[in-house]
Structure 1
Amino acid sequence: MSKMATAPLTFSLPEELNASTPPERRGLRRDHVRLMISDRSTGASEHVRFHQLDQFLQPGDVVVLNSSRTIPAVLRTEDREVRLARRLSDRHWDAFIMGKTVQAGEKLIFSPALQAEVHRIKTPLVELRFSLSDACLLEQIYALGEPIRYEYIHQPWPLEYYQNVYASEPGSVELPSAGRAFSWEVLFRLKRRGIHVAYLTLHTGLSYLSEELGALPPEANCEYYHIPQETVERVSQAKQAGNRVIAVGTTVVRALESDWLRKAPHEAKAGWTCIHIDAHTPLRVVDGLMTGFHEPEASHLDLLSAFAPPESLRRMYEEAIQLRYLWHEFGDIHLII
């Protein structure tokens, strides 16, 4: 039996609420952005600064972070802009090519040290086969690339502004932005209060492609994840003890909910998640979600509706707009718990 479609959350977002500048360039520490905390049951919200997060969690809670590190995923030839979308193997990537169309077998030259062949046309993506692989390929991507930015970012910013402080494994083509406000001070404060911090890795793909691919089968919009054994055990213990699991970002929700405890309940897990989560999806692991604010009708809002009924979610967003919260990766944070 197919699920009923979820009505898109539509609202009018004033242009000035699109955060175009990193908070550090606005004279604000990254952990001093605003934090809206919404109750899943009542829909009521509180409004504080992010560095006060520990006051709103409980000892025994587990905060799960995505340790993926952002790469500069925009590469350029003489006449094309190539946006890496997701890594397929040691030298194969799906990519979105802007500018002139390409044909299978065509060569793209990024520099004397790096070229790629159009291996396959997938529409709207193409699969590229690079001339280098693994660490050598990554080295050239860092040397030649620049961070992906969208129209609300009016000028280029260095890659450091697109990194989370705890990120360790390169692979995300966009910043897993829900974790951007964390500082080492906030993480230490959580641990001192008995709130556990755990990590997994899911390399994020192009967010706007999730809209392009929305009508295609779920396997067309998959992302690779790895959950280490330590995190599996920490989350399992929390669930057994009746404590809460807080996912930092929609990527963490997708990873944790994809194949949880189906086999070997205390072993590391890895694979491709193709899950689409919406209001009709029962959440088996995650109890709370920390995320940024998403644009009208974005597919991420489907996932948020698994945590709060759509009408309640609409009221939260109307309140955020009224109180002038800022949107996107350089903006403010929303905790639904």
Structure 2
Amino acid sequence: MESTTQSFDFPNVLNATMPPERRGVRRDHVKLMVLDKKTGETKHSTFNHLKQFLQKGDLLVLNSSRTIPAILKASLWRKGLLLSDQLEVRLAHRQNEQEWEALLLESNAEMGDVLQFSALLSAEVAGSSITNPFNTLHFNLKGAALIEQIYLLGQPVRYEYIDVPWALDYYQTVFASDPGSVEMPSAGRAFSWELLFDLQRTGIQIAYIQLHTGLSYFMDDKWHQEPFHNYEQYNMPVETAELVRKTKAAGGRIIAVGTTVVRTLETAIDPAGGSVAQAGWTNLYVHDRFPLQIVDGLITGFHEPKTSHLQLLTAFVQQDLLMNGYHEAIEMGYYWHEFGDMNLII
């Protein structure tokens, strides 16, 4: 289903090419646009003043997934013959403790081919598809040992608007714990521990889910996946589901920090629409006609036109009001992307 979200233009100067810390701004002092989802009214502040726009009893839900350095280099071997010595491999989705879906750039790899990443790490091409760009890789290591090697060898995914190879630490949220995201769950990046503790002192609750983000850019225009083809692994803990239910029952609001949290909270529900603890894979597609059952508000960054992330926002606020807010953000010089400014829709 093609996105109906309006197109818009913004100048390249609004692409955040560096972390705010490198331009002299604390991560929790980026700009914040607050958008009233009913009226479209906007307010402008900085993220460290977030509590002014929340209420005692509200529940902030964050994604605790940790970003991995998902770009690796390997030599490609077939039946003992070297086919390529500098193949770029982009990890896309973790399938289990030993297998990943991955994008092999400029490669016609076949099942049975071997990728040699280092003296310690290799993988066999165990599957491929003509309907998506990914190959399945079966590694010689698994679990923590595999993750350790990925961290030693890999580089974080960086897109074309980033012109400096910023270190992996810049692509982490302060509360990230379990490695697995190929791209940073960036809506949580603006939080500092100081801000989180300050919010809790004022009666705002904090809870965590986990969704490991997959690879969203395939480097080749021939590959196009609809939003509902995007499966990502999630975990809704028991304590978070209980806190969501209690907050809703008490009249508090559920504020998702990021589109990944929206997908998780709206996936992990029972037939009556209540939050439940569960884990698995979700391909939930949230759009302007999607009936939100759990989430009342959203903290997110600013998204490019005609993307599923932008369309998800129209489940919260009418498209015309959203576009009005975006045009205002452009006029006021808000920054886009993972190192950019923030938007609270409530």
Same fold (TM over 0.5): yes
Shift of residue 90, structure 1, vs aligned partner: 1.0
| TM-score normalised by length of structure 2 | 0.92
Q: Is it true that 1:214 corresponds to 2:225 in the alignment?
A: yes
Q: For 1:53-92, what per-residue CA distance to the aligned partner results, in whole angstroms no more than 9, with x for missing partners?
A: 0111000000000000111111112321111111001111
Q: For 1:219-269, what per-residue CA distance to the aligned partner results, in whole angstroms no more than 9, with x for missing partners?
A: x31111111111111110111112100000000000000131348967532
Q: Is it true that 1:39 corresponds to 2:36 in the alignment?
A: yes
User: Is the Cα–Cα contact under 8 Å of residues 79 and 100 in structure 1 kept in the other structure?
Assistant: no
Which residue of 2 is the match for residue 28 of structure 1?
25
From 72, 90, 109, give the equivalent of 2:69. 72
Q: For 1:154-209, what per-residue CA distance to the aligned partner results, in whole angstroms no more than 9, with x for missing partners?
A: 01011110000011111111110000000011101110110000001111111225
User: Is the Cα–Cα contact under 8 Å of residues 293 and 334 in structure 1 kept in the other structure?
Assistant: yes
SS at 1:207's partner residue?
A: coil
User: Is the Cα–Cα contact under 8 Å of residues 97 and 143 in structure 2 kept in the other structure?
Assistant: yes
CA 1:5 to 1:19, structure 2 compared with 1: closer, same or farther past 3 Å? closer
Q: Which runs of 5+ in 2 are unaligned?
A: 75-84
Letter matched to residue 314 of structure 1:
M
How many residues are treated as equivalent by the alignment? 332
Q: Is it true that 1:95 corresponds to 2:106 in the alignment?
A: no
Q: For 1:109-158, what per-residue CA distance to the aligned partner results, in whole angstroms no more than 9, with x for missing partners?
A: 11111111111112311111111111110010000001000000101011
Identity of aligned residues (%): 53
From 327, 331, 335, give the equivalent of 1:318. 327
Q: Distance in 1 between matches of 2:300 and 2:4?
A: 20
Q: Distance in 1 between matches of 2:327 and 2:213?
A: 28
Q: Is it true that 1:336 corresponds to 2:333 in the alignment?
A: no
Which residue of 2 is the match for residue 121 of structure 1?
128
User: Is the Cα–Cα contact under 8 Å of residues 59 and 194 in structure 1 kept in the other structure?
Assistant: yes
| TM-score normalised by length of structure 1 | 0.95
What are the equivalent positions in structure 2 for 1:97-176 lying under 5 Å apart? 97-122=104-129, 123-176=132-185
From 258, 261, 265, give the equivalent of 2:267. 258
Superposed CA RMSD: 1.8
Shift of residue 100, structure 1, vs aligned partner: 2.5
SS at 1:307's partner residue?
A: coil
Q: Distance in 1 between matches of 2:216 and 2:193?
A: 27
User: Is the Cα–Cα contact under 8 Å of residues 13 and 296 in structure 1 kept in the other structure?
Assistant: no
User: Is the Cα–Cα contact under 8 Å of residues 33 and 181 in structure 1 kept in the other structure?
Assistant: yes
User: Is the Cα–Cα contact under 8 Å of residues 79 and 99 in structure 1 kept in the other structure?
Assistant: no
Letter matched to residue 55 of structure 1:
Q
SS at 1:112's partner residue?
A: coil
Q: Distance in 1 between matches of 2:327 and 2:51?
A: 26
User: Is the Cα–Cα contact under 8 Å of residues 3 and 306 in structure 2 kept in the other structure?
Assistant: no
Q: Is it true that 1:82 corresponds to 2:89 in the alignment?
A: yes
SS at 2:207's partner residue?
A: strand
From 188, 194, 206, give the equivalent of 1:197. 206
User: Is the Cα–Cα contact under 8 Å of residues 13 and 295 in structure 1 kept in the other structure?
Assistant: no
Q: Distance in 2 between matches of 1:80 and 1:45?
A: 47
User: Is the Cα–Cα contact under 8 Å of residues 6 and 279 in structure 1 kept in the other structure?
Assistant: no
CA 1:121 to 1:5, structure 2 compared with 1: closer, same or farther past 3 Å? closer
Letter matched to residue 90 of structure 2:
R
Shift of residue 101, structure 1, vs aligned partner: 2.4
Q: Distance in 1 between matches of 2:224 and 2:294?
A: 26
Residue range with higher mean Cα deviation, 255-264 or 172-181: 255-264
User: Is the Cα–Cα contact under 8 Å of residues 19 and 339 in structure 2 kept in the other structure?
Assistant: yes
Q: Is it true that 1:246 corresponds to 2:255 in the alignment?
A: yes
SS at 2:117's partner residue?
A: strand
User: Is the Cα–Cα contact under 8 Å of residues 70 and 171 in structure 1 kept in the other structure?
Assistant: yes
Letter matched to residue 127 of structure 1:
T
SS at 1:128's partner residue?
A: strand
What are the equivalent positions in structure 2 for 1:214-293 lying under 5 Å apart? 214-215=225-226, 218=228, 220-262=229-271, 268-293=277-302
Shift of residue 99, structure 1, vs aligned partner: 2.2
Shift of residue 309, structure 1, vs aligned partner: 1.0
